[in-house]
Amino acid sequence: MSSMLEQLAPEADLIDDQYVGIRRRARQRLMTHGFPDLKTEAWKYTSLRVLEKRELEGGSDIGSVEPKTLPFEACIIRFDNGLLDDASLDLPEGVYLEPLDPSELVNVDYGDRADAMAWLNLARFDQAWKLVIAGEVEKPLVLATTLSEAFRAGVHPRLKIEVADGASAVLIEQQRDYGAGLINIVQDIHVGRGAQLRHIIQRRNADSIWVQRTRVNVSADGDYRCHALELAGRLVRQDLAVHLLEAGANGEIDGVAYVDSKQHVDWHTAIDHEVGHTNSRESFRILADGSGVGVFNGRIHIQRGADDSHSDLNTANLLLSENARINTKPELEIYAEEVTASHGATIGQLEDSALFYLRSRGLPADEAMALLKFGFAAAPLETLEIADLREWLTNELHRVL
């Protein structure tokens, strides 16, 4: 695995900037822990070995692709090939973007090899931004990350997002990859007291390896809701950890992932009830076709003393071909009292009776199948109460099913 370290973070390539001390420390940790392999529990079904074989090369001449136009008004923040050009940025009132101060990174700590990609990001990030949302922002903020066809690089975007007390916003991550490189994103989101954040992740990839780690801290009476439409790619690994830090905090995740042909998607989510009187809900669905692989691990952790907390976790999965694979695991760990927590997991196939019903009404088999798949997949998106956005997501889903 040291070859992977040399491949991904050669010492000579560490940028000598204001963060250099932080970078060196991160690289040191990487050297100590190494990268995860299939024996690492959190990476049991997802191998990063493909990175060993992949020649990542920079190159300034790789062009950029316009993000797809959205069918609603929004403020677009473009990350072309993972990098932000802030020169022409026009942000709405109450929204600020600034480089992250090194002091905010000095004490950053991750675990061992399971967190290697986060250490790698810390060693190698090209830019580190801080996005501050200080008021009630009406138009959705869109982080549009687009990797061009010629993208073969390794890029490590780093972003901290602060939603101030009482503020509210809709944040959309519109992520499109047409390339064959590596993108390794680390995000830290802070939802302030009484603040609201709707976080939408809409990703569709080609051959790049897409690793993203999102950690969300929710303060008292803060409300964080994530809606994800994962349309996969060669390899996607998303870690989403939501920490409910103070009473009244609410965290919800609704996601659907569709994998086809040789695609691989791995979603690891964790909702941590650190104190009592906190609520969470999660619903995640995977549809796997072709020889696609879908992995879902959903952990709910209700800590000692986090009494009067409520949580519900549900995962349903649809296997659409013999060669497709789904690994799904809901994990409930409860150490508190007066708690309600429930979970359920199913893996099934399309029902013959439903298929026949639709065909008997005149729908050809392929259309009937598409309609059933769509019906299954769209359910988690129905919880999004903003009609424009819900329609956009369901249309995106329609295009692939």
Partner 1 sequence: MLNIQDLRVAIGDKEIIKGLDLAIGPGELHAIMGPNGSGKSTLGYALAGREGYDITGGKVEFEGADLADMEPEERAAAGLFLAFQYPVEIPGVNNAYFLRAALNAQRKARGEEEVDSMTFLKTVRESLKALKMDESLLKRAVNEGFSGGEKKRNEIVQMAVLNPKLAVLDETDSGLDIDALKLVAEGINAQRDGKRSFLVITHYQRLLDYLTPDRVHVLAGGRIVESGGQELAERLEAEGYAFLEEESAA
The Cα 283–Cα 285 span in angstroms is: 7
> Minimum CB separation from partner 1 for residue 289, in Å?
17
Q: Which is nearer to partner 1, 332 or 379 (CB)?
A: 379
Shortest distance, position 316 Cβ to partner 1, whole Å: 10
The span from the CA of 338 to the CA of 20, in Å, is 48
Tell the smallest beta-carbon distance from residue 370 to partner 1 (Å). Answer: 10
Q: Kindly state the smallest distance separating residue 345's Cβ from partner 1, in Å.
A: 17
Report in angstroms how near the CB of residue 363 gets to partner 1 at its nearest. Answer: 5
Q: Which residue's structure tokens are 């952990």?
A: 299
Q: Shortest approach of partner 1 to residue 360 CB, angstroms?
A: 5
> What is the spatial distance between Cα 300 and Cα 314, in angstroms, rounded to a whole number?
11
Tell me the closest approach of the beta carbon of residue 367 to partner 1, in angstroms: 6
DSSP assignment of 262-329 equals: T-EEEEEEEEEE-SSS-EEEEEEEEEE-TT-EEEEEEEEEE-TT--S-EEEEEEEEEE-STT-EEEEE
Nearest to partner 1 of 257, 377 (CB atom): 377
Minimum distance from CB of 321 to partner 1 (Å)? Answer: 18
Nearest to 130 by CA among 109, 106, 102: 102
Closer of 341 and 370 to partner 1 (Cβ):
370
What DSSP designation does 138 have? -
Report the DSSP pairing between strands 158-163 and 83-84. unpaired
> Is 98 in a helix, a strand, or coil?
strand
Q: Kindly state the smallest distance separating residue 362's Cβ from partner 1, in Å.
A: 4
Neighbours of 371 (CB within 10 A): 15
170 strand-pairing partners: 198
Q: 93 vs 352, which CB is nearer to partner 1? A: 352
Neighbour-count burial of 268, counting CB atoms closer than 10 A to its CB (0-12 exposed, 13-18 middle, 19+ buried): buried
Q: Which is nearer to partner 1, 11 or 382 (CB)?
A: 382
CA nearest neighbour of 283 among 244, 257, 246: 257
Structure-token pair, residue 374 = 């769509």
In Å, the largest CA–CA distance within the chain is 68
Is the separation of the CB atoms in 225 and 197 below 8 Å? yes
Closest to partner 1 by CB, 79 vs 392, is 392
Interface residues with partner 1 (CB under 8 A) are 351-354, 356-365, 367-368, 371-372, 374-379, 382
Q: With respect to partner 1, which residue has the nearer C-beta, 128 or 358?
A: 358
What is the secondary structure of 219-255 as a DSSP string? -TT-EEEEEEEE---SEEEEEEEEEE-STT-EEEEEE
Can you say how many angstroms the Cα of residue 56 is from the centroid of all Cα atoms in its chain? Answer: 23
Tokens of 230: 């994962």
Whichever of 25 and 390 has its CB closer to partner 1, that residue is 390
Per-residue HEC secondary structure of 108-122 comes to CCCCCHHHHHHHHHH
User: What is the closest distance, in whole angstroms, from the C-beta atom of residue 69 to partner 1 in the complex?
Assistant: 25
Q: Which is nearer to partner 1, 331 or 351 (CB)?
A: 351
264 or 373: whose CB is closer to partner 1? 373
